[in-house]
Structure 1
Amino acid sequence: MRILSIILFFWSFGMFAQSNNFTSVSLKRSSQLTEKMESAKSLYGEFEQTKVMKMMDAESTSYGKIYYKSPDIIKWEYTKPFPYSLLFKDNFLYIDDDGHKSKQDMSSNKMFAKLGDLITGSLNGKLLKDDEHFDVEYQKKNNLVEAVISPKDKSMADMFEKVIMSFSEDKMLQSVKLVEESGDYTLISFQNWEMNKTIKAAVFQP
């Protein structure tokens, strides 16, 4: 479920951006929504991820950090309750499960190749123009703007019903909620975003 949640998150991560008219509910998927990401040479943030399973009346929470270096290097690192990280770099996926390391060639594996395309499309904003695979609706909720993303593709719809992304008034991504058809969901809440922060090269070493 960790990898699935991360895949779904990156499908929607291209929505992290700003708009010239953020108070409008009828926002358009356009270059306005990608200005902030396009200007970012690097990103650092912290997250809390909670998985809620309604049928089992249970939930679990993890904590971690996310790092990004333009144009396509990403590290998703869990720190609690135990260490686990995914590093996307040079068409490879490096997994470190509490010291047990593995490597996947995304160019020779269809699933990981698709994952790589989705991540790249998310970060450069092309995903927002993918009308073939997604519907996006916008709504205002209190001081937040929510983008509700629904997949058109059946294989994607089998994994999640919708993704709800919430943005604050300063145009920063506050949370991503990944909702499954069963009603189970994963909520990822972000804080301490820093753009163009100097990130040590060692962070992106496998």
Structure 2
Amino acid sequence: MARSISFFILFLLVNSFFGFSQQERMSKQEADQVRIKIIEKSKNTNTIKGDFVQTKHLDFLSNDIKSTGKLVFKSPDLIKWEYKTPFNYSVVFKNDKLFINDDGDKSKIDLGSNETFKSLNSLIIKSVKGDMFDDKQFAIQFFLNSENYIIQFTPKDLDLQLFIHDFILSFDRQSLEVVEIKMMENTEDYTNIRFIDQKINTKVDDSVFSN
């Protein structure tokens, strides 16, 4: 099971490097104000639908791995990643389980039976919604540039750090929607997901999450 989860984390999560030279660190007052606004936005987000473009960088490969697909989220904890190119592959998080459909080859993993995997499940859902402001679980740093608020979450739990070195969420400064997610798996490897044409709080049937 650990191998399957590791594969999914490698396959799924998060960014091309944000230009840190163009970023400014927020003051504590600015960070507190942004935190409040984003939490309020997250509380009012019940569904998300949209397309995504993913770039996966592995240091030992000469070329990045690029793929596209669709994301569907429904509060509180239903999420589906459906990859369309370069191949058909979908994963559904539902009821503390991970349902995988690899071009018709289906499998299921019980995330609730392992606290670390359960935490990973929660992090993935919260990252999409933008609600990860838990100071007990993360060291949090706030930055901004001309377009986005950029917030870096570093897990404090050593077990989580085996899978995730850093989460970096980029929020549009106007809409406060998550427009890009980055997960650093170590100092060199990362996955970038950029969201396109997001639709917030539109009708989503539960049948979407039957994988």
1:192 aligned onto 2:192 = no
**Separation of aligned partners in 1, 2:128 and 2:54:** 21
Match runs of 1:112-131 below 5 Å: 112-119=117-124, 127-129=132-134, 131=135
Q: Is the 8 A contact 2:13 2:192 kept in 1?
A: no
Question: What is the letter of the counterpart of residue 157 of structure 1?
Answer: Q
Residue number in structure 2 paired with 1:150: 154
Post-superposition CA distance 1:117-167 (Å, at most 9, x none): 4456557876312x2321111112232221122222222333333222222
Alignment of 1:1-206 (within 5 A): 3-5=8-10, 26-28=30-32, 30-119=35-124, 127-129=132-134, 131-170=135-174, 171-206=176-211
1:101-129 alpha-carbon deviations (Å, 9 max, x no partner) = 11223333445433344456557876312
* Structure 2: gaps spanning 5 or more residues: 1-5, 15-25
Distance change (3 Å), C-alpha of 1:122 and 1:59: closer
Moved more, 113-122 or 176-185: 113-122
CA distance in 1, matches of 2:59, 2:157: 25
Change (3 A) 1:6 1:135: farther
Residues 33-42 or 94-103, more deviating:
33-42
CA contact (8 A) 1:62 1:78 kept: yes
Structure 1 residues 97 and 177: CA distance shift in structure 2, 3 A: same
1:191 is displaced (CA, Å) by 0.9
RMSD of aligned alpha carbons: 2.8
Q: Residue 167 of structure 1 aligns to a residue in which SS?
A: strand
- 8 Å Cα contact 1:167/1:174 also seen in 2: yes
**Match of 1:40, SS?**
coil
Deviation, 1:61, is 0.3
| Equivalent position SS for 2:133 | helix
TM-score (norm 1): 0.78
Matched residues in 1 for 2:78 and 2:71: separation?
Answer: 11
Aligned-partner Cα distance in 2 for 1:61–1:205: 26
- Contact 1:34 1:124 (8 Å CA) reproduced: no
Percent of aligned positions with the same letter in both sequences?
32
